Structure formats: C-alpha cells, structure tokens
Copies of this chain bind each other. A is one copy, B any other.
Amino acid sequence: MRRNISESTVRRLSFYLRILEKVEAVGIDTLSSEKLAQRTGTTAAQVRKDLSLFGSFGKRGLGYAIPQLASELREILGLDRTWRVALVGGGRIGSALFEYSGFRKRGFEIVAVLDADSSKVGQRWGKVVLSDIADLEKVLTAESVDIVILTIPAESVPDVLDRVVAVGVRGILNYAPVQLRVPGDVTVKDVNMVLELEALSFALSQTKGE
C-alpha cells in the first residue's frame, strides 16, 4: 500500500521524529510545520509535502498534533516494534557498538555477537555470549535475527555476506570498507566515519590545489 519513498524523505522523517519527541518531552502538544522545518534544516513546504505522503496530520493555524504525529512516524519507520540484531565482528568497533545504548532505545536489540577469534567465543557481554562465526547460520536462525551489523575486516566480508543473505536476513548495516553486492530484496546501509573523512579530505584537496 505504501508509495515509493525516497531515501532522503525517510531520513527527514527520522529528523522530524527526533524533534517531535524532544518537544513532546517538555510538554508541548502542537508544532507548526515552520518550526519543525527550522529545527530539522529544511523548509515548511518540504515538511508538509513529506508528511502528506502518509496522511493528514496538521490543522491549519494549529500545527501538528505532536503525540499522534510522533506515533505515526514511529509506525511508518518501523520503530513501533523490536528488531533483533546480530553483531558480526566483536572487535573494537563491534564492542563500542554493543555498549552504545542508542540502539536499544530505538528498538534495535543486539541478541547475538559472533566472532572468528576462538579466544573471544564464549565471552559474556551483558546478556549475550559470543558465538563462533562458524555457527553463523545456526545462531541467526535460532535468534530470529532481522538485521546484521558487519564489523569484520573487508577481506572477510564476501564469504560472511553470502552466508548472512542465504539464511534470509534482509537488512545489513555495514561498517567494513567494502562495497556489498546483495540481491534486490536485501537493504544495505553503510557507516564509516573514516571513509567520510577521506571523502572530505579528497574534496578539500581538489579545490585547494586549483
């Protein structure tokens, strides 16, 4: 039933939801599209256009009813449920992510951690006992994992990726500096701050030299 929504629209819906939740937390009930736009770096027309894709939330002169709109945005973004997440790679980045509480707040629960290092397998991290990456299929299936976060070295990715996809996982958050090739029904998002810094470095070098 849903229309084809662009990545940048989805991004803005996340922005809107954050602001609505902050405003709601201080007891405000309604917010104008102008104020919502201002606080998310966009225009009031864009806010109205984005939100009209999903229904009619605002009242002229009154603004958006915050609790209702926030609730609707959570539902649209799939944040009204818990997502079961496996962390593949228990190294430095993996352990930092595991400790980050912002995931759980949004309903992303890390239910499994896998590593290839036999000295790590069996370690307990909070409620999770680290599994051997050799048991990937078994663990992802047993834990009904929806989303996999890859924090393994680039050269390990192709093999692991094939196994993750084969077992039916359709959402992947990738920290490895490698391009993932996946079937059309699998969604990949990349996060890598050093790569983003290198892209900045490239851009700055280009203009500076001319």
Contact = CB atoms under 8 A, between A and B. Distances in A.
Given A15-B177, A83-B201, A207 B40 contact: no
A198 B154 contact: no
Interface residues of A, number: 69
Nearest to A37: B179
Interface stretch (A59-67, A71-79, A118-126, A130-138): A71-79
A3 B192 CA distance: 25
Contacts of A5: 202, 206
Interface in A167-182: 170-173, 177-181
B206 A2 contact: yes
Nearest to A3: B206
Contacts of A178: 15, 39-41
Contact of A154 (B19, B76, B157, B171): B19
Interface in A34-63: 38-42
A22 interface: yes
Contacts of A190: 196
Given A41-B158, A106-B198, 16 more contacts: A2-B209, A2-B210, A14-B199, A15-B178, A40-B179, A41-B178, A41-B180, A78-B201, A103-B194, A106-B194, A108-B197, A108-B201, A147-B201, A171-B204, A190-B196, A191-B193
